Amino acid sequence: MSEERFHAILTDFLEGELSEAEMMELHALIDSSEAYRDAAVQSYRLHRMLGLLMEQREGTVFSNSVMQRIPQESASFVHAVLKGIHHDPNEKGIMLLDGRNAPLDRPNSQSSTVPLTQNHNPATPNYWSVGLWLTRLCFASALVMSVIFAISRFGFQERVPSEDKQQDAMFTSMAHSRFLGEYSPPIGSSVKRMKEYVLRSGSVELSFSNGAEVIIVGPSVFRVASADSLILTSGSCSVHAPEGAEGFFVDTPSIRVVDRGTRFALSVEDASGAEVHVVEGAADVYPIDSMHTGDVTAESHALPGISNVTTARLEKSEARLFKDGFLVPPESTTFRSSLYRSHVPDRIVSYVANQSVNGGAEELVSVQIQRNGKAMNYRVEELIPVQLIWFKADGKLFDNTKTQVRHLASHRPLVDERVSVITDRFLNTGAINPGGAVMPITSDPVMSADTADAVTTPGMAVRFDQPVVNQAGPDVVLFELQHLAGTPDGDSFHVVPLRYAPHLHPVTVRSYDLTLTSSETNRLADFFLTEFDEAVDSLSDFQNGSGHSLKTPQPGRSYGLLAVAIDLSDLGYALHESVDGLFFQDTLDDDQRFDPVFIAGFP
My answer on whether 241 and 360 are in the same domain is no
The answer to whether residue 519 sits within a structural domain is yes
Please enumerate in sequence order all residues whose Cβ is within 8 A of that of 292, keeping only pairs 6 or more positions apart, or say none: none
My answer on whether 526 and 394 are in the same domain is yes
- pTM (global) more than 0.95: no
Show which of 106, 126, 153 is a domain's final residue: 153
Q: Is the pLDDT of residue 375 over 80?
A: yes
The larger pLDDT score, comparing residue 396 to residue 160, is at 396
DSSP one-letter string for 267-289 = EEEETTEEEEEEEESEEEEEEB-
Neighbours of 274 (CB within 10 A): 26
The answer to whether residue 506 sits within a structural domain is yes
Distance CA 88, CA 513 (A): 44
What residue numbers bound the domain in which 13 lies? 3-153
* Helix (H), strand (E) at residue 493: strand 493-497
Q: Is the pLDDT of residue 222 over 90?
A: yes
The larger pLDDT score, comparing residue 126 to residue 34, is at 34
Q: Is the pLDDT of residue 67 over 70?
A: no
My answer on whether 499 and 438 are in the same domain is yes
- In this structure, of 4-13, 20-29, 588-597, the range with the lowest mean pLDDT score is 4-13
Q: In the prediction, which pLDDT does 592 show?
A: 83
My answer on whether 293 and 176 are in the same domain is yes
Q: Is the pLDDT of residue 79 over 80?
A: no
Average pLDDT rounded to a whole number, residues 554-566: 94
Q: In the prediction, which pLDDT does 360 show?
A: 93
SS (H, E, C) 39-69: HHHHHHHHHHHHCCCCCCCCCCHHHHHHHHH
Give per-residue pLDDT as tens, 507-544: 999 999 999 988 899 999 999 998 888 889 999 999 99
Give per-residue pLDDT as tens, 86-100: 333 333 333 333 333
* Helix (H), strand (E) at residue 236: strand 229-240
Average pLDDT rounded to a whole number, residues 460-476: 97
Give per-residue pLDDT as tens, 356-369: 988 899 999 999 99
The larger pLDDT score, comparing residue 427 to residue 129, is at 427
Give per-residue pLDDT as tens, 473-487: 999 999 999 999 999
The answer to whether residue 479 sits within a structural domain is yes
My answer on whether 119 and 15 are in the same domain is yes
Give per-residue pLDDT as tens, 127-182: 434 444 444 555 555 444 544 444 444 443 334 444 445 689 999 999 999 899 88
My answer on whether 227 and 95 are in the same domain is no
Q: Is the pLDDT of residue 1 over 50?
A: no
- In this structure, of 93-102, 206-215, 271-280, 507-516, the range with the lowest mean pLDDT score is 93-102
Q: In the prediction, which pLDDT does 12 show?
A: 58
C-beta separation of 187 from 174 below 8 A: yes
- In this structure, of 121-125, 245-249, 490-494, the range with the lowest mean pLDDT score is 121-125
Q: Is the pLDDT of residue 578 over 70?
A: yes
My answer on whether 118 and 208 are in the same domain is no
My answer on whether 478 and 593 are in the same domain is yes
The answer to whether residue 158 sits within a structural domain is no
Res. 120 pLDDT band, cuts 50 70 90: very low
Number of domains in the chain: 3
CATH number at residue 323: 2.60.120.1440
Q: Is the pLDDT of residue 320 over 80?
A: yes
Please enumerate in sequence order all residues whose Cβ is within 8 A of that of 522, keeping only pairs 6 or more positions apart, or say none: 154, 155, 351, 353, 360, 361, 560, 561
Dump strand ranges (E) for 288-336. Answer: 301-303, 306-309, 312-315, 319-323, 331-332
Q: Is the pLDDT of residue 571 over 60?
A: yes
- In this structure, of 147-156, 182-191, 450-459, 549-558, the range with the lowest mean pLDDT score is 147-156
Q: Is the pLDDT of residue 587 over 70?
A: yes
Average pLDDT rounded to a whole number, residues 581-594: 92
Show which of 121, 153, 185 is a domain's final residue: 153
Res. 451 pLDDT band, cuts 50 70 90: low
Show which of 100, 122, 153 is a domain's final residue: 153
Work out the percent of the chain whose per-residue pLDDT is above 70. Answer: 66
My answer on whether 477 and 358 are in the same domain is yes
Which range of 16-20, 430-434, 550-554 scores highest in mean pLDDT? It is: 430-434
Average pLDDT rounded to a whole number, residues 42-58: 37
My answer on whether 361 and 215 are in the same domain is no
My answer on whether 190 and 96 are in the same domain is no
Q: Is the pLDDT of residue 287 over 60?
A: yes
Q: What is the mean pLDDT of the chain?
A: 76
Distance CA 151, CA 361 (A): 15
Res. 550 pLDDT band, cuts 50 70 90: confident
Q: In the prediction, which pLDDT does 519 show?
A: 86
My answer on whether 293 and 421 are in the same domain is no
The answer to whether residue 260 sits within a structural domain is yes
Q: Is the pLDDT of residue 223 over 70?
A: yes
